[in-house]
Amino acid sequence: MKFIAYNVRDDEIPFIEKWGKDNQTEVSYTTTTLTQETIEEARGFDGISGLQTIDYSRSLFEDFKKLGIRYLSLRNVGTDNVDLQAAADNGVTVTNVPAYSPESIAEFAVTMALYLSRKVGYMQQQLRQKQQFHFSPDFMGRLMSEQTVGIVGTGRIGRHAIQLFEGLGAKVIAYDKYPVKNKFHYTNNLQELVAQSDIISIHMPATKDNYHEFNHETFEAMKDTALLINTARGSIVDTNDLIYALQSGEIAGAGIDTIENESADLQDSRSTKQVNNADVIKLSMMPNVLITPHSAFHTTRSVMNMVNISMNNLKDLYAGETVADIVK
């Protein structure tokens, strides 16, 4: 029994090595992304652990079959970049880590909301441009307890976000296609939530149905003082429409941890390449935007859990045991 982990960051290496030692299992790792060009490195291994935002395609799963590899264990939650039908057609079982640390992402969403609510970006811009500080009406913020926060998606992360925002005194409303009965104050539809919220925080998985759910029409329906926080998936928000909404004043600000068409370099801990995504650069120049490199999850607890759960899933699959994290 031996496994290989792809796209391994420096912070994951100690946990991978410890897991291998504790489980007396050979585990190799590489910093390269899993593609048709790199899968040859997995020859002779019994399973692959992966973490990436680029596609796991049909042709890639066909290569799995050629190499006799039957298991792909993701170190993340999202599966929108996985061709699950192709995996099944080629006899590959896919698992994910549905809850490595919901608190980490929820805390980051609250951090973004506080940063934007208190106009920190405007203060930073003034310091960069003028090397001075002075009070300005542009810097006047809003208390969280004065705001209505709309949580879109009440899974594990969304529920933690509700708890944190309520702890700061905010009024919280929620929308989910599958609401938790008698648990939260749900709106009847997303449009109702959008119209009422001062802050909207997205915590739902990406699906075909919610592709560009937040678009020009949605931004027009939001308050012009509203903030949008996205720590979920980039495809849920139409980036071009978001930029227009921010520039035109349709909304007041945005916290963006994930954006459409994220490159493999984004999760390469050794990458020294400069950012060349025009949308990222444009958003980063706006004082009413906080943009980060898909790092809401990034805490010690998250990294440890992502590695351990992914590797445990591979071990259990190989042993023929029941695995709860199989993605269907």
Q: What is the tens place of the pLDDT at every residue in 53-72?
A: 899 999 999 999 999 999 99
Confidence at 134, pLDDT banded by 50, 70, 90: confident
Residue-wise pLDDT tens digits, 165-209: 999 999 999 999 999 988 899 999 999 999 999 999 999 999 999
103: exposed, middle or buried (Cβ count in 10 Å: 0-12, 13-18, 19+): middle
Percent of the chain residues topping a pLDDT of 90: 84
Q: What are the residue numbers of the active site?
A: 233, 262, 294
Per-residue buried b or exposed e for 252-281, using 16+ beta carbons within 10 Å of the residue's own CB: bbbbbbbbbebbebbbbeeeeeeeebebbe
pLDDT, tens digit, for every residue of 246-275? 999 999 999 999 999 887 666 555 667 788
Average of pLDDT values for 9-14?
94
Q: State pTM to two decimals.
A: 0.84
Q: Can you list the domains of the chain with their CATH numbers?
A: 2-100+299-318 (3.40.50.720), 102-291 (3.40.50.720)
- In this structure, the dihedral spanned by the alpha carbons of residues 200, 264, 272 and 228, taken in order and rounded to 10 degrees, is -10
pLDDT tier at 10 (50, 70, 90 boundaries)?
Answer: very high
Q: What is the CA radius of gyration of the chain?
A: 21
If pLDDT is split at 50, 70 and 90, which confidence band does 152 have?
very high
Three-class SS string for 229-264? Answer: EECCCHHHECHHHHHHHHHHCCCCEEEECCCCCCCH
Residue 122's pLDDT is what? 92
Mean pLDDT of the chain, nearest integer: 94
**pLDDT at 135 (0 to 100):** 74
Average pLDDT over residues 212-236: 97
